[in-house]
Amino acid sequence: MPRPGFVLDVDKSTPPILFHHGEGFRLEKLPADRSRVIYPGEPLDALDDVEAEIQAALLNPLEMDPLPELLNPGMKLTIAFDDVSLPLPPMKRPDIRQRVIEAVLDMAAAAGVDDVHLIAALALHRRMTEDELRHAVGDRVYDAFAPQGALYNHDAEDPDNLAYLGETKHGEEVEINKRAAESDLLVYVNINIVSMDGGHKSTATGLASYRAIKHHHNVHTMEHSKSFMDRHNSELHHSNWRMGKVIADAGVKVFQIETTINNDTFGDALPMSVLAKREWEWTAKDRVSFIGMQQGLKRISGSTRRKIFQAHRAPYGVTSVTAGAIEPVHERTLQHCFDQHLVEVEGQTDILTMGLPYICPYNVNSIMNPILVMCLGLGYFFNMYRGKPLVREGGVLIMTHPTPWEFHPVHHPSYIDFFEQVLADTTDPKEIEQKWEKQFAEDEWYRHLYRTSYAYHGVHPFYMWYWGSHALKHLGRVIIVGGDKRAVHRLGFKAASTLNDAFEMAEDVVGRHPTITHLKNPPIVMADVK
């Protein structure tokens, strides 16, 4: 029986707590009697027979006819699937998308469907490489469809392959992939690693153009998404739901297949397995293994360290497969997510600490640059709450990460210019949005790289910054421990060498003897703050 997540009150006998620190780790002693640690739940039991569950979901969908009844020989079928940003880290083969897509195609084969396209729904993310596509959909599907040009990445800047479907009552334009819009059936295969994913967002964002996405990926929306992990209180999701209605009204029939995975991020094999254990339960073997890993990591170059970490594949277990109409499917999926991630927490804190790991949705097989550090900490981890933020308004956020001044030149070209040019000018999201966004979003060179190379869209670093705008507005100070000082200052944050130094610096903002809460993530945990 897996143990649920819980809140540990730190006392004198609490051992040092493991903090992720990019491609490394820190063991930090938290002050006794005023600190607490939010631990994630242990991995929920995985489904015994995933194939059987997929079959059951496809044959008994929610509020839709069984999938075989929606398939016929002359139809146009499109299968869209989540891109390389999910799950994190990538899962061991076979990926759940592959399993679901193969089951869908088996039914399509039985129905004699000829016209099938598969599209990686990557919105404004970088295109997936052949290896990444093969990992997601499997070699069989790739070899059957890619050579004919029937498996490809969505292109949000291809005017010939986008369909304008109308606008919402709020004036938001809806434009999505033309093939998906014109298909008799669009099957969307998703992985809900966190509660932000899925629902109408899958199609309304994943298959949309910049023209549509800009209506919800902006400072106003993000500041009013409290949090974007809580879909019912998220302006980001309200906007996507409105767009979903426009898509449905335009006659696009979506058969949504959502899946959830458990918290088995690090598996049972040492040394990675120790990262998921509670510190006081580390055995002698765990400790030796951890020390060995730390010493080993210290002695190798940064790029080798990155390669080792990026090669990790998580042995996630699948906890649910739900298919049918988008809204009922998503409600059920959210419940599965919350079952795994949600931990009840009493009240807010003065200082929130978090150890940032080596990966976020936008640096799979890539480099975690300073903008992504900001996005992971202030965007994703800060928003891992329901109810109220974990830290009080005006409180301090302390993150540990090396924050190197380093960028992937192929994946993140516009990030480099954003960092050098835009952040040197201002770090205020609203000012950045008004003054700089259009120039980057419409830049022909960035557009060319997005469409033909493996670059994120020119506007993407702006969205990363907006992602943290709710936190920026809420917090009194942000401190990064162990980061590159120049890079940290460019982000507009304070740099500290040690956690104790950071606590000292935080006291200037929140007063003496502040309360401290550490969000121990990953594996994923989400606070239900009362």
When binding is defined by CB under 8 A, the residue of 7, 62, 75, 144 that contacts other proteins is 144
Q: Which of 30, 385, 409, 54 is nearest to 228 (CA)?
A: 385
Please tell me the count of residues contacting other proteins according to CB under 8 A: 22
Candidate ranges 88-96, 335-343, 460-468, 519-527; the one touching other proteins (CB under 8 A): 88-96
Regarding 69 and contact with other proteins (CB under 8 A), the answer is no
Q: What distance in Å separates the CA atoms of residue 238 and residue 225, rounded to the nearest whole number?
A: 9
Tell me the per-residue interface mask from 11 to 50 with other proteins, x by CB under 8 A, - otherwise. Answer: --------------------------------------xx
Q: What are phi and psi of 259, to 5 degrees?
A: -130, 150
Q: Which is nearer to other proteins, 144 or 509 (CB)?
A: 144
When binding is defined by CB under 8 A, the residue of 141, 329, 342, 496 that contacts other proteins is 141
Token readout for 500 is 């104790």
CB 526 within 8 A of CB 384: yes
341-355 exposure pattern, b = at least 16 Cβ within 10 A, e = fewer: bbbebeebbbbbbbb
CB 111 within 8 A of CB 73: yes
Q: Which is nearer to other proteins, 148 or 301 (CB)?
A: 148
- Contacts for 285 with CB less than 8 Å, ≥ 6 apart: 270
Q: Which is nearer to other proteins, 92 or 245 (CB)?
A: 92
Contacting other proteins within 212-241 (CB under 8 A): none
Strand segments (E) across 265-373: 318-324, 342-345, 349-355
Radius of gyration of the CA atoms of the chain, in A: 22
Candidate ranges 109-117, 252-260, 373-381, 383-391; the one touching other proteins (CB under 8 A): 109-117
Candidate ranges 18-26, 111-119, 173-181, 413-421; the one touching other proteins (CB under 8 A): 111-119
Q: Which is nearer to other proteins, 138 or 377 (CB)?
A: 138
Q: Which is nearer to other proteins, 51 or 393 (CB)?
A: 51
Give least dist CB 492 to other proteins, A.
45
When binding is defined by CB under 8 A, the residue of 77, 79, 116, 314 that contacts other proteins is 116
Q: Which is nearer to other proteins, 136 or 174 (CB)?
A: 136
- Give alpha helix (H) positions in 8-95: 50-59, 67-70
Edge to edge, the sheet with strand 385-386 lists: 342-345, 526-529, 385-386
- Other Cβ atoms less than 10 A from the Cβ of 299: the count is 9
- Contacts for 331 with CB less than 8 Å, ≥ 6 apart: none
When binding is defined by CB under 8 A, the residue of 27, 32, 59, 110 that contacts other proteins is 110
When binding is defined by CB under 8 A, the residue of 139, 158, 331, 420 that contacts other proteins is 139
Give least dist CB 147 to other proteins, A.
4
Give least dist CB 452 to other proteins, A.
17
For the chain, what percentages of helix, strand and coil (3-state, to nearest 5) are there?
A: 40, 20, 35
Token readout for 227 is 């949090």
Residue with tokens 């919402």: 168
Candidate ranges 82-90, 110-118, 206-214, 301-309; the one touching other proteins (CB under 8 A): 110-118
- Other Cβ atoms less than 10 A from the Cβ of 501: the count is 14
Regarding 94 and contact with other proteins (CB under 8 A), the answer is yes
- Return residues touching other proteins (CB under 8 A): 49-51, 92-94, 98, 105-106, 109-112, 116, 138-141, 143-145, 147
